[in-house]
Every structure is written in C-alpha cells, then in structure tokens.
Amino acid sequence: MERLAKPVTRPLTGEEYLESLRDGRRVLFQGEWVKDVTTHPAFRNAARSIARLYDALHAAETRDTLLTTDRLGISTHKFFTPAYSPADLLGARDAIALWQRMSFGWMGRTPEYKAAFMATLGADPDYYAPFADTARNWYRECASKVLFMNHVIVDPPVDRNRPPSEARDVYVHVVRETDGGIVVSGAKQVATASALTHATFVGVNSGSAARLQEGRDDDLALVFFVRMDNPRQILISRASYELKAESPFDSPLASRFDENDAFLVLDEAFIPWEDVLVYRDVPKAKRFYADSGFFNRFNFQTTIRMAIKTEFMLGLLQKSLECNGTADFRGNQVMVGEIVAMRHLFWSIVTAMAHDPEPSLGGSVVPRLEYAAAARIYTNFAWDRIRQIYERLLGGAPIINVSNYRDLLNPEVQPILERYLRGTGMPAKERSKLYKLVWDAMYSEFAGRHGLYELNYAGNHEQKYLDALSWAERRGLMDQFEALVDECLAQYDLDGWKDLAWSWSPDGSA
C-alpha cells in the first residue's frame, strides 16, 4: 500500500500521501499504463488538492478542528473514529466542513467520505465475525494514517434483466478459495477518485443486495478490501477534465478538483483472508449496508458537502447577477432566495443529524436513519434545480466570453474587450474570469459529470424513495402514520362526534 521509508503510525502529511501513491498501481489512461499518478497531467493537480487536506491535519491553525484521539489512543481525523455522543458528531461536522471548504464542496469523495464506513469497523469489529480481526486491523490502520479509501458497490449495467448468478462473467464473484484467501474476478463501478486512493472497498449497495438469494448467489455475497498495488486490479479511467484544462483562468475547477472516475476490474485477484469482511453470506451482505451505520454517516458527510457547495453557488450566482446589473430585479431575488432556503435546509438536517442521533454498533451513535434518508433525496435532486435557476437568471450571459485567457493578453483587442465585454462596474478581465468560473461550474464537461454525480452517487432515482419507504415500514413509522389517521376516523361516525368536546346536529345547527 505505502512505500514509505519508515512505517507511519500517525496521520500522513501531504508529501507522505503523494509518496504512498507510487506503488505500481495499474491505471489505464489513453491506452497506456500511468507510471506515476502524482506527476501525470491527468491526475497531478487533483492529487495535490488531496495532499492539501493531509497537510491541514498538521497545520497549527487547523489541526485542532480536524483531529481527535480515539478510545484506542489513536490520533485521527474526527470523522475517522466512531461517535459516541452528539458532541462527537458536532466535532466531526466541523472537521468535515473544514476539509470541504478547501475544495468549495467540489470534491465529493475526499478521504472522509469512506471514513463514514471505516470508522464503524472500530465500534464493533465482532459484528463481522468470523472476520472480526479484519475489521479491527483495518480500522487501526485507516484511523492512524487517515487512509484514503475508494469504494465500488454497484454492478455494471450489464444483464440486469437476469439474476446475478447468470452474470458471473461480469459481476464480482469468487473464482476459488485457497488456504491464504480467495481469488475473485469481475467488475464494479464507479470507482471515483480511485487512482488517488490507498485501497478499494468492494461491497454491495442496497439495490444490488436486494437481488441476491441464498443458495444461488453465495459466491457473489462478498465484502472485502483490495490494496492498490494488487497486480490483478485494473482501473480503466474516463477522460480527464484536468488534462483538458489549459489554464486555471479558463478551467478553475476542472484543473484541480477532477475526481477521475474509473471502471474497476478484478482479474483473478488474490484477496488474503485478512482483507475479507463478508464471505459467501447473503444475509450479512444484505444487512451490513444499513447495520454498519455507513448509510447514516455518509449522508452526514454528503449533506455537509452539499451545503457548502450550495453556498459557493449562491455566491457565484449573486456576483454574476451584480455583474449583469440585474441583482435587484424582484424575480431574480425570488430565485436566489430559493437557493438560500436550500442552503438553510441542508444545514438544518445536519444539525438534526448531530443533535438527535440513534444508537449503533458497539455503543456508538450515528445520525438518525430517517434524517439520512431525507438528506439523500433532497441533496441529490437539488443540483438540477440550482442549474435550472442559473439558466433562467443568467440566460446566455455565460456564453459571451473570450475563447481563452490569451485573448485578454492581446494588446490589439484589449480596448475592444474592455468596452464590450466589461461587466456592470467590472473590467473585462474580471468579468471574463467570473463567467469562466460559471461555465466550469455549470456547463463544461466537468460540470456535466457533476450533474450526473450529484443525482446518482447515492443510488438510482427510484431506490432513494423506495429505501425511505422501506425503512419507515420496518421501523413502524408507517404504522404510526396510519394510526394517526385511525385516531381521527374514530372520533366521528354517522351519528356525529363521539367526543363531547365537539357538537353537531343533522340540520347543521350547533
């Protein structure tokens, strides 16, 4: 995993993080194997954006907000250890927010995302018996170094009309078992930012797990880790928006915050027993996703991130309207106010998640499932509405810009640009810079990928609602809702009110 001169038993520094990525991982990009993701122009700036997070763990002005000491005496990021009280969750909230503000909410799979699961391993390792030691050891390693984990829990969109057992040529499954571990083959998606991580978590999400059946799909009922230097793990990366970004002026977000997604293939990859959490156990493969508290916790992280990203988009929209001279138009203020309300809603859910948690494994607490389910739905669908508002209020203004930064350096056309491309009280260069940022956030290829990410990272559009309903049924909430209606129905009949507190007569008189 890491090729450092000395074993590290504390949070990595930025430089140590970058060094740890030079481990021979197999990343395919544009027909070639990437020799070093920390220097390759498709990945290097994103890697340095992550390295800045690690440096913040050691900086005097930020480390107290970010770090805590867990019950084992490990100094770690506050979201990398289980929470045991609302105060712990509030501390984690502030640590997540500090990291997220460093990328303005534009990097969704930063290290604390998968810490939503990895921390739960420390709360009750025995839940994963007979692989309790796997949970225990991975928690220690992850917490002590603040490891960056990626995850793949979605089956490829192939043969989904057939039972999983009939798609073994594609889906991750056990090929054979050995004394030292298991050999697995198959593919998973979407391995976001995986080229820059320390290990892959392979599991099943709620939608995939629902299709598994005991006695038929046991060889697919797996949860395990794959270290990035595994020679039989292949990452097939999509196009790099960072690579296409010619300058920060033209692509201020894509040039440094592109979390390159990958299609992950395991080609008879050997997984030692010490990296296995669930093996041939359909019931546990179905339950762990909810039982672990991962769902509750990852929505805590994503809601904080989305609140910060919404704040960024609010500031960007307001500055753009001021540039156009339309910030005081009543209709524009109405829609800006709508996004303000979204921002308040997200932070309110975060507050409820922290102050009103529910018990979880090993005496820990996690954000309440009902709040997590609601956050999952409303944060995922918010982005479409934000983009819609941008399109209505800014119209064609984002299109009107120079081709790239070199146009602004041409002395012959500078007077023309200054006259016709200026903003309201804003010189042409600053107006161009502002709207280049709008374009990168809303309309570039990088922005298009973010639209897909925000809508789908937490599951398909139907599963989000189905899960909310299913969990409400399992917890008896739907019975409570119906009981409330039954109480109302029981208070009257054809003869009138049954409670003397109200009066009624057939002719309508009191």
Least Cα distance to 231 among 266, 194, 191 occurs for 266
192 is in an annotated binding site: yes
190 is in an annotated binding site: no
* Cα 37 to Cα 24: distance, rounded to the nearest angstrom: 10
Burial of 403 (0-12, 13-18, 19+ CB in 10 A): exposed
CB 11 within 8 A of CB 146: yes
* Cα 242 to Cα 420: distance, rounded to the nearest angstrom: 30
Q: What is the chain's percent helix, strand, coil content, to nearest 5?
A: 50, 15, 35
153 is in an annotated binding site: yes
CB 165 within 8 A of CB 158: no
CB 56 within 8 A of CB 96: no
DSSP letters for 144-192? HHT--EEEE-B--SSSTTS-GGGGTTTB-EEEEE-SSEEEEEEEEB--T
Least Cα distance to 145 among 361, 298, 1 occurs for 1
Three-class SS of residue 70?
Answer: coil
204 is in an annotated binding site: no
CB 83 within 8 A of CB 74: no
Dihedral-angle region of residue 117 (phi above 0 means left; psi in -120 to 50 means alpha; beta otherwise) = alpha
| Paired residues of 365 in beta bridges | 83, 359
Phi, psi for 184 (deg, rounded to 5): -125, 150
CB 50 within 8 A of CB 111: yes
CB 208 within 8 A of CB 220: no
As annotated, the binding site for FAD includes 151-153, 192
As annotated, the binding site includes 151-153, 192
